[in-house]
Amino acid sequence: MPRPSNEGPPIEVAAGLLRDGELILVCQRRATAVHPLRWEFPGGKLEPGESPDACLQRELFEELAIDATVGARIASVEHRYPGGPHVRVHFFAIASHRGTIENRVFERIEWRALGRLSELDFLDADRPLVELLRRQAMLDLAASRRILER
């Protein structure tokens, strides 16, 4: 008897954070995709034998037409979708990229301020990172306003 898709080892996924100053590139899934019209960070599933870095470079070229340099791993998040897959998403900073960003597969792509990411309906596996970025944006704002200094 086949195992339900949410049992067993997680599906490994790599996702990238592309920044332009205080803006982050976010992508909306197509209406016909699994989890239609939900927002996510660009990336995708690792192929057998592929490293997260190589996966992310491949996915960013396929999805956005860019040649990316993958930077530091920011976080890894595991999530079990009810009745669906168990995923482990590895989030990486994108240190730089060559080429002009082109939307090849998404409904929409958008540059969004860090503090406004939580306004979007993100995939459940991406939400912990959205919250981490929101908190970082709040701390950055506090530091810039010298709230904690006297």
The answer to whether 39 touches 133, Cβ cutoff 8 Å, is no
Please give the pLDDT value at position 144.
72
Please give the pLDDT value at position 5.
47
- When pLDDT is cut at 50, 70 and 90, the band that residue 147 belongs to is low
Pick the more confident residue, 57 or 139: 57
Give the percent of the chain with pLDDT over 90: 78
Nearest-angstrom CA–CA distance, 101 and 83: 34
Supply the mean pLDDT for the chain.
90
Q: Which long-range CB contacts under 8 A does 111-117 form with residues at least 24 apart?
A: 111/20, 111/23, 111/24, 111/25, 111/26, 112/23, 112/24, 112/25, 112/26, 113/22, 113/23, 113/24, 113/137, 114/22, 114/23, 114/24, 114/140, 115/141, 117/24, 117/26
Pick the more confident residue, 135 or 10: 10
Q: Which long-range CB contacts under 8 A does 81-85 form with residues at least 24 apart?
A: 81/6, 81/124, 81/125, 82/6, 83/4, 83/6, 84/5, 84/6, 85/5, 85/6, 85/10, 85/11
Structural domains of the chain sorted by starting position, each given as residue range(s) with its CATH number in brackets: 11-144 (3.90.79.10)
Please give the pLDDT value at position 140.
72
Please give the pLDDT value at position 112.
96
